[in-house]
Structure 1
Amino acid sequence: MLKEYRIALRNSGLINPESIDEFIAADGYQALRKALKSEPLGIYEEIYDSGLRGRGGAGFPTGAKEKAAAVICSDCEKYVICNADEGEPGTFKDRIIMETDPHSLIEGLVIAAYSIGAHKGFVYIRGEYELSIQRVQNAIEQAYGRGFLGKNILGSGFDFDLEVRRGAGSYLCGEELTLIESVEGKRGYPRIKPPYPAEKGLWGSPTLINNVETLANFPAIILNGAKWYRSLGTENSPGTKIFTISGDVNKPGFYEFPMGITLRELIYDVAGGIRNGKPFGAALIGGAAGTFASEQHLDVPMGYDKLREVGLTLGSGAVIVMDGTRNLNQTMLSILKFFKHESCGKCIPCRVGTTQLHNTLKDSLAQQSFNNNQVYPELIRQAELIARTSLCPLGQSPILPLKSLWEHILVKQTANK
Structure 2
Amino acid sequence: MTLTSFGPANRIQRSAETHPLTWRLRDDGEAVWLDEYQAKNGYAAARKAFADMGPDDIVQTVKDAGLKGRGGAGFPTGVKWGLMPKDESINIRYLLCNADEMEPNTWKDRMLMEQLPHLLIEGMLISARALKTYRGYIFLRGEYTTAAKHLNRAVEEAKAAGLLGKNILGSGFDFELFVHTGAGRYICGEETALINSLEGRRANPRSKPPFPAAVGVWGKPTCVNNVETLCNVPAIIADGVDWYKSLARDGSEDMGTKLMGFSGKVKNPGLWELPFGVTARELFEDYAGGMRDGYKLKAWQPGGAGTGFLLPEHLDAQMYAGGIAKVGTRMGTGLAMAVDDSVNMVSLLRNMEQFFARESCGFCTPCRDGLPWSVKLLMAIEQGKGQPGDIETLLGLVGFLGPGKTFCAHAPGAVEPLGSAIKYFRPEFEAGIAPASAVPPLARPITIGA
Shorter-chain TM-score category? over 0.9
* Residue 10, structure 1, aligned to residue 27, structure 2: no
- Percent identity of the aligned residues? 40
Query: What amino acid is the match of 2:100?
Result: D
- Structure 2 equivalent of residue 335 of structure 1: 352
Contact 2:391 2:429 in 1 (8 A): no
In the TM superposition, 1:17-416 aligns within 5 A as: 17=31, 19-37=33-51, 38-69=53-84, 71-76=85-90, 77-234=92-249, 235-367=252-384, 374-387=389-402, 388-407=404-423, 409-411=424-426
CA distance in 2, matches of 1:366, 1:313: 31
Query: What amino acid is the match of 1:119?
Result: Y
Deviation of residue 244 (structure 1)?
2.9
Mark the CA change 1:249 to 1:16 in structure 2 (over 3 Å): closer, same or farther.
closer
Deviating beyond 6 angstroms after TM superposition, the runs of 4 or more aligned structure 1 residues are: 412-415
Deviation of residue 393 (structure 1)?
1.5
Contact 2:353 2:371 in 1 (8 A): yes
CA distance in 2, matches of 1:411, 1:356: 19
- Structure 1 equivalent of residue 438 of structure 2: none
Mark the CA change 1:117 to 1:356 in structure 2 (over 3 Å): closer, same or farther.
same
Secondary structure class of the residue paired with 1:191 = coil
Contact 2:33 2:118 in 1 (8 A): no
Deviation of residue 278 (structure 1)?
2.2
Contact 2:374 2:397 in 1 (8 A): yes
Query: What amino acid is the match of 2:408?
Result: C
Q: Which moved more, 1:16-25 or 1:295-304?
A: 16-25
Give the count of matched residue pairs.
411
CA distance in 1, matches of 2:395, 2:58: 44
Secondary structure class of the residue paired with 2:410 = coil
CA distance in 2, matches of 1:369, 1:380: 14
Secondary structure class of the residue paired with 1:275 = coil
Deviation of residue 399 (structure 1)?
2.6
Contact 1:199 1:207 in 2 (8 A): yes
Q: Deviations over 1:371-412 (max 9, x none)?
A: 8xx5444312112212343211112222311222233x2258
Secondary structure class of the residue paired with 1:22 = helix
Query: What amino acid is the match of 1:405?
Result: A
Question: Tell me, which stretches of 5 or more residues in structure 2 are unaligned?
Answer: 1-6, 431-450
Query: What amino acid is the match of 1:391?
Result: F
Q: Which moved more, 1:377-386 or 1:340-349?
A: 377-386
Mark the CA change 1:172 to 1:321 in structure 2 (over 3 Å): closer, same or farther.
same
Contact 1:50 1:227 in 2 (8 A): yes
Q: Deviations over 1:15-58 (max 9, x none)?
A: 85252100000000000000012111110101001111100000
CA distance in 2, matches of 1:118, 1:143: 17
CA distance in 2, matches of 1:341, 1:122: 27
Query: What amino acid is the match of 1:244?
Result: G
Deviation of residue 262 (structure 1)?
1.2
**Looking at CA atoms only, which structure, 1 or 2, has the larger radius of gyration?**
2
- Structure 1 equivalent of residue 433 of structure 2: none
- Greater RCO (Cα-Cα under 8 Å, separation 6 or more): 1
Mark the CA change 1:208 to 1:370 in structure 2 (over 3 Å): closer, same or farther.
same
Q: Deviations over 1:293-329 (max 9, x none)?
A: 1112110001001111221211111211112222112
Report the TM-score when normalising by structure 1. Answer: 0.94
Question: Tell me, which stretches of 5 or more residues in structure 1 are unaligned?
Answer: none
Report the TM-score when normalising by structure 2. Answer: 0.87
Q: Deviations over 1:325-370 (max 9, x none)?
A: 2211211111111111111112222111110011111112222677
Deviation of residue 233 (structure 1)?
1.5
CA RMSD of aligned residues (A): 1.9
Secondary structure class of the residue paired with 2:74 = coil
Mark the CA change 1:382 to 1:325 in structure 2 (over 3 Å): closer, same or farther.
same
